[in-house]
Structure 1
Amino acid sequence: MKTILVPYDFSEEAGYAFEFAKGLAEKTKNKLELFHVIELPTPQSFNSYGEVGAFSSEGTQIFMIELIEKRKKQMAALEESLKNEPYKFETKIVFGNPFAGITKEIIEAKADIVVMGSKGSSGLEEVLIGSNTEKVVRNASCPVITIKSAVLPKDIHKVVFASDFNEVPEEVIKRLKAAIETIDAELHLVKINTPSMFEGSRASMEKINDFLRDYKIKASSTTVYNSATEEDGILEYADDIDADMIAMSTHGRTGFLHLLSGSIAEDVVNAAKRPVWTMKAKK
């Protein structure tokens, strides 16, 4: 059975993702798993005088015990409320680092798609730390849909797939086509032209037409769109046609190379107000 995985932290955005995922599960009858990670305090922390700090205190231990019990009850209540749905619903709680926990669960649950809430981020915090959502988008072995507001699959009518159409991995297209068919949406293709990465319209359209032919894709429109940056162009074009979702492939780079080149997909995930479907291109 295929699995829809929802990392859940009880935030408003996670609630939006959960509702979207329930809509997907109703359509596909796939299993839906709600996954929660409880971060434990560091085993030892020290104040300025070198004394052992918070984790050793009785108050902190009581707080963590109460939090764990609260989360267990909340998850049990959700399981009870969805026990009669036409799809299988499960919950799981683990302890540790959220990103590491989600990454491990994607593999162990053999997740086919991750639906994840996101607040987005910008500026220095994004460069130095990044969000758990951004990390999952960059590293997940399956497609990820990021959600920032209340939306359901039935609300998705237009999907923009942005690419340079040079080397789009077949697995990405296979998963994208499956997603489009599931939500019954129109597909609109766009190639963004920028001053630093300019390409003539004729050459760009030839690549798009080759893409359509090679992958036997039906698109409602194909466009070459000019903008200052790829990120701006994707967001502007999605606004222009009133798209309901953006779809992209991401390269999964990390570290210094990631900081130098950036990831357009991650930038779009952070900046976009509408849902974004991404999948990492395997090397």
Structure 2
Amino acid sequence: MIKVLVPYDFSEQAQNALNFTTGLAEKIDGVHIEVVNVLEVPYVSSIGTMGGGEVMPEMENQIFFIQLMERRKEQVADLKEKYKDKRYTFNAKLKLGNAFKSISESILEENPDLVIMGSKGSSGVEEVLIGSNTEKVVRTATCPVVTVKSATDPNKFKKIVFASDFKEDEDEIARRMKNLQSLFDADLYFVVVNTPANFETTRDSIKRIGMFVKKYGFEGVKAEIYNSLSEESGIIEFAEDIDADLIAMATHGRTGFLHLITGSIAEDVVNHAKRPVWTLKVK
């Protein structure tokens, strides 16, 4: 059985991700969809001259939260009713706590084969200061993550872009790229983005892609070199130019100070690309 975890907050973006998931589940035998809704417990930060900490809100807010929780329980029950008796199996649950922490715990508990998330993306100060829960999940998840931003029909996928520098052998990535190509019966584009800061000749890039293709036995792959000012913009621009249906990338999942200094091309693409992005954290 293939298990897909879908974080769901009843937003338009979350519904786009769920619709994408159910559309995908109609293509494959033996899929189980696990939906998790996280209701964050409200706290008020109270910091005074003697220190302080977090305290529960006032009584009226507590009553509002209880009412909201009951409403969410009803919505989760409605979801389970709506998606029962399908070709796939379906379950939905409500969790209380921090969104990112609860999603991470669900990934560890459920051990899914795939996480599919909706995202609005962010930019400017919001992106720098807090990022999105989707970016954090992309950075830390132990399984592939697909980010969906708009209504997308997986049955119409025909072009997949896999962006890499192809400098490292990645057995797991290669295996999964083959699976994606087979699942969607799609054209696969291997692209290296050439930037002023990391310039190399087209001959060298094409040679490296060719070695990767030969080692892992890919067929029907188009090798492309794309020139841009940055890797992130080049990947997004190339996908737009060929009207790709999906961007696929590996991420090294850096956290803490290293992530602050080096950033992540994959997370930047997830944040700014309009089309779905498939990512997998590699060591």
Query: TM-score with structure 1 length normalisation?
Result: 0.94
CA gap 1:257/1:48 in 2 versus in 1, 3 angstroms: closer
Structure 1, unaligned runs of 5 or more: none
Question: What are the within-5 Å matches in structure 2 for residues 58-207 of structure 1?
Answer: 58-207=59-208
Q: Name the structure 2 match of 1:19.
A: 19
Aligned equivalents of 2:142 and 2:220: distance in 1?
26
Matched, 1:213 2:214: yes
Alpha-carbon contact 2:42-2:57 (below 8 Å) kept: no
Amino acid corresponding to residue 15 of structure 1 in structure 2 = Q
CA contact (8 A) 1:115 1:147 kept: yes
1:66 and 1:183 map into 2 onto residues whose CA distance is: 43
1:4 match: 4
Query: Relative to 1, partners in 2 of residues 1:54 and 1:62: Cα closer, same or farther, differing over 3 Å?
Result: farther
Identity of aligned residues (%): 52
Shift of 1:53: 9.3
SS in 2 for 1:137: helix
Shift of 1:222: 0.7
- The alpha-carbon deviation at position 70 of structure 1 amounts to 0.8
Question: After the TM superposition, which of the residue ranges 165-174 and 72-81 deviates more from structure 2?
Answer: 165-174
Give the residue type in structure 1 aligned to 2:10.
F
Amino acid at match of 2:27: K
Q: Tell which deviates more after alignment, 178-187 or 69-78.
A: 178-187
CA-atom RMSD in angstroms: 1.9
CA contact (8 A) 1:187 1:221 kept: yes
**Structure 1 residue matching 2:191: 3-state secondary structure:** strand
Give runs of ≥4 in structure 1 deviating > 4 Å.
Answer: 47-54
Pairwise CA distance, 1:47: 8.2
How far apart, CA to CA, are the structure 2 residues paired with 1:222 and 1:159?
Answer: 12
TM-score using structure 2 length: 0.94
Shift of 1:171: 1.3
Note the alpha carbon deviations across 1:36-59, whole angstroms, 9 max, x for none.
Answer: 1110012x5438899999834221
Letter in 1 for 2:58: S
Tell me how many residue pairs correspond in the alignment.
Answer: 281
> 1: CA distance between counterparts of 2:95 and 2:57?
21
Displacement after TM superposition at 1:92 (Å): 1.3
* Paired letter, 1:193: N
Residues 134 and 168 of structure 1, relative CA distance in 2, 3 Å threshold: farther
Unpaired runs of 5+ residues, structure 2, are none
The one-letter code matched in structure 1 to 2:18 is F
Larger relative strand fraction = 2
